[in-house]
Amino acid sequence: MSIAHIFLWATAAIWGFAFVAQSVGMESLGPHSFNAMRFLLATLSLLPLLFIFKPKQSQNNRKLWLGGLAAGSCLFLGFTCQQIGLQYTTAGNAGFITSMYIVFVPILGLILGHKTERHTWIGVGLALIGLYSLTVGPNLSINKGDAIELLGTLFWTGHVLLIGYLSRYVSALPLSIVQFFVAMILASITAFTLETPTLEGIKMAWWPLVYAGVASSGIAFTLQTLGQKNISPSISALILSSEAVFAVLGGWIFMEEILSTRALVGCGFIMTGMIISQWPRKPVTAKVALN
């Protein structure tokens, strides 16, 4: 295993355990106040990286700011659903449902005219079976928190497709800073409108905020960037999808969460589906007939 692989595994672990930090942080802060502080810390933690990872490509400023506005809005809506949903479901469930964006992207991509291979659809099918097993209970009922997390996954899906488009025109780091800044503004407005954030509450949630805002953004972003330099996109996505497994481990270790047999089966199907859908395929080389 190379150092690049280790960087990506570390990124997945940091992201997975962030679900625990988000749950603990809401013991003293509302979901919108937590997100506002998280986005602030994320923005501040990424700014110094501009001096380390200087953008190599010239920036299309119009696409940077308009794209950052759109991506930041998706980020805000996705994290809002994720944070509110965590009030009613486990960190493990939230992690696996959020990771479903990996298999939802091909579905939305099909609508947009993107080509999707057969093995990806097999993975999507298995993941959907797992999602049903994980979230749908007796009488076809679905837990409130799981439903909110699932809604958030739609915004994560849109965010992935949007970033995929914007990455052709702007560098990743400036775009990340702009989108976190936009998300911070939106979350702050929402927090002061719907909640009453206090300095005491922020102090009590300081360590979860530092983990979610700095470790899960600045540190993880750096490790992801370093790791993906020498690893193919398919392998990178495959490793990063293990974020869901680390979310379950974090909930079990730190919050004593226990998944039912049905939920474990659902997680297994989702993980298998994600692996199949992201598993790299060897490029097919055309055979040239010799006359």
Instruction: Give the whole-number percent of the chain exceeding pLDDT 90.
Output: 44
Looking at residues 177-199, what average pLDDT do you find? 95
Banded model confidence at residue 13, pLDDT cuts 50, 70, 90: very high
Task: Report, as an integer, the average pLDDT of 178-200.
Answer: 95
- The residue extents of the domains of the chain are 3-51+59-277
Instruction: Please give the average per-residue pLDDT across 5-29, as a whole number.
Output: 92
User: What value does the mean pLDDT take over residues 247-255?
Assistant: 90
- Check residue 283 and give its pLDDT: 53
Average pLDDT, the chain: 86
> What is the SS3 string spanning the chain?
CCHHHHHHHHHHHHHHHHHHHHHHHCCCCCHHHHHHHHHHHHHHHHCCHHHHCCCCCCCCHHHHHHHHHHHHHHHHHHHHHHHHHCCCCCHHHHHHHHCCHHHHHHHHHHHCCCCCCHHHHHHHHHHHHHHHHHHECHHHCECHHHHHHHHHHHHHHHHHHHHHHHCCCCCHHHHHHHHHHHHHHHHHHHHHHHCCCCHHHHHHCHHHHHHHHHHHHHHHHHHHHHHHCCCCHHHHHHHHCCHHHHHHHHHHHHHCCCCCHHHHHHHHHHHHHHHHHHCCCCCCCCCCCCC
Most confident of 122-131, 173-182, 272-281: 173-182
Rounded CA-CA distance 179/270 in Å is 29
Q: Tell me what pLDDT residue 270 has.
A: 87
Q: Take residue 256 and report the two structure tokens written for it.
A: 């004593």
Residue 232, pLDDT > 80, answer no
pTM (predicted TM-score) = 0.85
Residue 57 is predicted with a pLDDT of: 63
- Answer yes or no: are the C-beta atoms of 116 and 277 closer than 8 Å: no
| 223 HSE (CA, 13 A, CB side) | 21
pLDDT at residue 222, rounded to an integer: 80
Q: Which residue has the higher pLDDT, 205 or 104?
A: 205
Tell whether the model's pLDDT for residue 284 goes beyond 80. Answer: no
In the predicted model, what is the mean pLDDT of residues 1-17?
89
Of 147-161, 202-216, 226-240, which range is least confident? 226-240
